[in-house]
Structure 1
Amino acid sequence: MRLNSETAAGLSAEITRGNYDRDEQAIGIVHFGIGAFHRAHQAWYTDLALSAGERDWLICGVSLRSTAVADQLDPQDGLFTLTERSGDSASIRLVGSVREVLFAPRQSDRVVARIADPACRIVSFTVTEKGYARGEGDRLDPSRASESFYPLLARGLAARRAADLPGVTLLPCDNLADNGGVLAGLVRQWLEAEDPALREWFDRECRVPSTMVDRIVPRSGPEDLEDLEARIGLHDAGAVFTERFSQWVIEDDFAGPRPAWECHGVQMVDDVAPYETAKLRMLNGAHSLLAYCGLRAGHDFIHEAVADPELRHLAERLMRREAMPTIPATAGQDLGTYADELIARFADPTLRHRLAQIAMDGTQKIPQRWLDTARALSGTGINSRAIARGFDAWLWHLADGRFVDDPFGQELVSLMAAGGREAVIARCFEGAEGIPPLWAGYRDIAWIFRKPR
């Protein structure tokens, strides 16, 4: 029997749930990229806020490339369970904050109508780094952008302007340094090209705060869903499984109302930069290192990689000796304790976070996870030995080919086979005739990676 509004009434008392009436709540958030992370993070926080009495913050999820999440959640009336795991214990919560999921290629008019609805005050994003369609020098890549959220967002904003409605807050929740500034700049480029007057309205009426998000959310496997069904007595196709730890830091700069997320652990701050820099360079940097080096060593999961003494030493070195000296910590931010906590989180075997999942989209992640750290260390006398080892493992990853899932994967795998590491390094840092580099602006540190470590 499938989980839905009717069958959920029969769930046992051990399943925590909110006490709000979803049928009397409006949709206040449109979210692009409603994958497992969003459901385990922003949707969970919003469910807590609704359960505490907040009103009209239900979520319309938008999928850009696949009907998979709509197929999972729409037959369940948007309901799903979130299982928090730690050691031998697990707790389950029924999350009701998602009201519907739209598949943009087929339901574009409905997506636009949701953004243009007076009840909508926030448009949020977890589209991964590649979804922002950044090209050379933070310039928008128009061909890629046309397949992402930009056209629908622009139509929705234009409809709000035409109806004399207030602007919205755009809330990016992806692993990009200064993600609010990046998104604002890219949206301005799209609007300037399509409708300069709308760009002026956007600048005047909308806000784009930066955020830092942190929660490890492995991809759910068939065995996870089977175990859950045995426990709750219902099939939940949209279930998510995660760790108990969760963090969300948001720059407090909104265009209008927002949920009182801070009552549920969210940090509203004036400057997100110290938090996002620590997360990108320490957590995400070590994650990518363990993923590529772990796959090369024959491991499948992050807890296996961090249990490997050599790889754990590399991860510790990256965090403590390479990343930490480059991070301007804010008051109360203890980076040494943060490193201890990260190792403990990585080592939890209950999460079963696959290295192949972490290794996805390396070309989009490596600059902010490794290259910014390497550049900051250049000239300080501290070498980037751990980062260079991780880069070598990424090149092995391309040569091996089995786990490559990257927007430039086919090109780089072929280039690696034909020209080896030097050809790939040249493509990434220097480009080729008529082709810009993948990592524009990092050419000065390419020498760090030319010699195998």
Structure 2
Amino acid sequence: MSTVDNGLIQLHLGVGSFHRAHQAVYMQNLHEAGDESWHLVGGNIRPDMEDTINTLKAQKGEYHLETVSPAGERQYQKIASIKTLVEWDAKLAGLIEFAVNPNTRIISFTVTEAGYYLDEHHNLDPKLADIKSDLAGDTRCTIYGAMSALLSARMKSKAGPVTLMNCDNLRSNGHRFYGGLIQYLQLSGEAELLEWVENNTSAPDSMVDRITPRPTPEVVARVSGVVGVLDQAALMSETFIQWVVEDKFIAGRPSWQNVGVEMVADVMPYEEAKIRLLNATHSCIAWAGTLRGYQFIHEGAQDPVVRQLAYNYVTDDVMPCLDSEEHPSPLNLADYRDVVLERFSNPNVEDTNQRVVMDGYSKIPGFILPTISEALAAGRSIDAVAILPALFLAFIKIQQRGKLAYTYQDAAMPADNPQRYCNAEDSILSFASEPLLFGQLAGNVELVAALRLAEAQVNNLVKIEL
């Protein structure tokens, strides 16, 4: 396929469905508006998406995106903004080739919450196997090991400063990634590279939002039928799209503000609203929907019992945390809540519970624990938010007993950890005492009491025998 011969480059790590339905779309929209000064180059730091890369390369990086509204209106767009796709190799030589290109001014990446390997204090956990392997030089499979290799080569080539841009759901993602990277470089003893990174990189925070299910053969067939060519890389997403980015770029950036990206000084208010009102609610509906025997998110969102749990969680416990006289929210949180529930109810998206429930051991502390902590500190009830970890406990009990209808993936969940509280005489107390999930609140008396009340509600909605 074609390569980037001129113009500035955004090198993206993680060419999955979300990137192709989100950041690549914004770049495509810039190109269609007549601004082709920047292009995307994409690759992966692990060998787990070779089929996707090969399919895209065979199609010269081009594919079609189908978007669908809650009313069922479908639109189609050809995306051709990814100009080069890099094949994976263990030494990341293909990615390094672009990392040392002076025209590469942004290295962006999409990583799952568990992919940051941070503990409850947001520090890098060097005891984890992948981190240990990367630090030993055996692999480059984490974002830190890969970025270290890319930035070391860039430093030696004197290619100049570069922005490191997160495109994922981790709260304060730029700040936390940067902290993890600095700790990784300290542990690796790369003093020269550490100094270079501190002086030649920036890491803006960002908030990204667009529901993008995993592509299916049905999507490929439907899109190909509409556009008139076989598109094996076709994918679909909802119509809604949002991107809020801290305007902190050390080496320039595309004019994203011209195509709807919100470039702001502080991402935090948008980020907190999205993480707590959307991401946590998404998990709530996925856990509850699974327990009710559903396969898709929209089935749970349309179930009055499940929808009320999600509504109460946001209204009773989240909104008081995010909107006060001292710290008013820049968003209308009630409107945002209603839009989120409408989006989740969209039957045309067919987003699966299996996709959304992934990495609960990262989502409980990341998406849900802050609301519990702040509500308790303010002396407010946590009855509504306690439903969410209680749902997760019921979900894990089903998973551990082999009654889950699909495979559950959780990179941060120790293999023997859930068995301990699932088999405990007092499973609520054992679960509530887990520091991996509840941090400093582990064993908190008020948390335990709220979870006991929540357990009774959860047991009433479950349609699968626990």
1:428/1:112 CA distance change after superposition, 3 Å: farther
Encode CA deviations 1:174-228: one digit per residue, 9 max, x unaligned. Answer: 1111111101101111122231221121111111010011111111222121112
In the alignment, is residue 370 of structure 1 matched against residue 405 of structure 2? no
Change (3 A) 1:82 1:192: same
Within-5 A mapping of 1:339-350: 339-350=337-348
Task: Choose the corresponding residue for 1:272, options 257, 267, 276.
Answer: 267
User: Do the aligned residues in 2 keep the contact of 1:33 with 1:61 (CA within 8 Å)?
Assistant: yes
Q: Is 2:293 the counterpart of 1:298? A: yes
Distance change in 2, residues 1:379/1:133 (3 Å): closer
**CA distance, structure 2, for counterparts of residue 207 and residue 154 of structure 1:** 15
State the partner residue of 1:258. Answer: 253
One of 78, 101, 111 as aligned partner of 1:117:
101
Identity of aligned pairs, percent? Answer: 30
- Aligned-pair distance for 1:243? 1.2
Q: How far apart are 1:31 and its partner, in Å?
A: 1.2
Structure 2 Cα separation of the partners of residues 442 and 117 of structure 1:
47
- Which residue among 205, 210, 215 is the counterpart of 1:215? 210
Q: Secondary structure at the match of 1:130?
A: helix
Question: SS state of the match for residue 236, structure 2?
Answer: strand
Q: Would the alpha carbon gap of residues 54 and 395 (structure 1) be closer, same or farther in structure 2, given more than 3 Å must change? A: same
Superposition deviation, residue 409 in structure 1? 6.4
Equivalent residues in 2 for 1:68-217, closer than 5 Å: 68-86=51-69, 87-106=71-90, 108-142=92-126, 143-145=129-131, 146=134, 147-194=141-188, 195-217=190-212
Judged with a 3 Å threshold, the aligned counterparts in structure 2 of structure 1 residues 121 and 26 are, in CA distance, closer, same or farther, namely: same
Aligned-partner Cα distance in 1 for 2:309–2:432 = 26
2:240 is equivalent to residue 245 of structure 1? yes
**Which has the larger displacement, 409-418 or 391-400?**
409-418
Q: Secondary structure at 2:251's aligned position in 1?
A: coil
TM-score, L = length of structure 2:
0.86
- Cα pair distance change 1:27/1:107, threshold 3 Å: farther
- CA deviations 1:49-94 (Å, max 9, x no partner) are 1222333422222222411321331211111111111123211111
Moved more, 300-309 or 64-73: 64-73
Q: In structure 2, what is the Cα distance between the partners aligned to 1:25 and 1:163?
A: 19
The Cα shift of 1:368 comes to: 2.1
The residue number in structure 2 matching 1:54 is 35
Unaligned runs of 5+ in 2: 135-140, 457-466
Residue by residue over 1:317-373, the C-alpha shift from the partner in whole angstroms, topping out at 9 and shown as x without a partner, is: 111111111114666421111111111111111111111111011111111211111
Matched positions, count: 427
Q: Report the Cα offset of residue 415 of structure 1.
A: 3.4
Instruction: Confirm or deny: 8 A CA contact 2:11 2:98 kept in the other structure.
Output: yes
CA change 1:38–1:190 in 2 (3 A) is same
State the match for 2:386 in structure 1. Answer: 388
CA distance in 2, matches of 1:202, 1:138: 20
Q: Give 3-state SS (helix, strand or coil) of 1:291's partner.
A: helix
| Matches of 2:361 and 2:51, distance apart in 1 | 25
SS of the equivalent of 1:378 reads helix
| Residue 16 (structure 1) aligns with | none
Distance 1:419 1:60, change over 3 A: farther
- How far has the Cα of 1:97 moved from its partner? 1.2
Relative to structure 1, the CA distance from residue 105 to residue 129 in structure 2 (aligned partners, 3 Å threshold; closer, same or farther) is: farther
- CA offset at residue 144 of structure 1? 2.5
Cα distance, 1:238 vs. partner?
1.8
Aligned-residue offset at 1:423: 7.6
Query: Contact conserved, 1:326 with 1:377, CA < 8 A, in 2?
Result: yes
Report SS of the residue matched to 1:357. Answer: helix
> Does residue 406 in structure 1 map to residue 410 in structure 2?
yes
Task: Give the match's secondary structure for 1:81.
Answer: strand
Query: How far is the alpha carbon of 1:22 from its aligned partner?
Result: 7.4
Please state if 1:36 is matched with 2:5: no
How far apart are 1:259 and its partner, in Å?
Answer: 0.5
* CA distance 1:390–1:32, shift in 2 (3 Å): same
Question: What root-mean-square deviation, in Å, do the aligned CA atoms of Structure 1 and Structure 2 show?
Answer: 2.3
Q: CA contact under 8 A between 1:112 and 1:152: conserved in structure 2?
A: no
1:237-281 per-residue CA deviation (whole Å, 9 max, x = no partner) reads 222211111110001110111110110110011100000000011
| Selected match of 2:223 from 222, 228, 232 | 228
3-state SS of paired residue (1:385) = coil
Is the CA contact (8 Å cut-off) linking 2:432 and 2:438 kept in structure 1? Answer: no
| 2:333 is the counterpart of 1:312 | no
Equivalent of residue 434 in structure 2, options 396, 414, 428: 428
- Correspondence for 2:439: 440
**Contact 1:293 1:393 survives alignment (8 Å):** yes
**In the aligned structure 2, how far is the partner of 1:163 from the partner of 1:85?**
45
Go from structure 1 to structure 2 and tell me whether the alpha carbon gap of 1:244 and 1:25 turns closer, same or farther (over 3 Å shift): farther
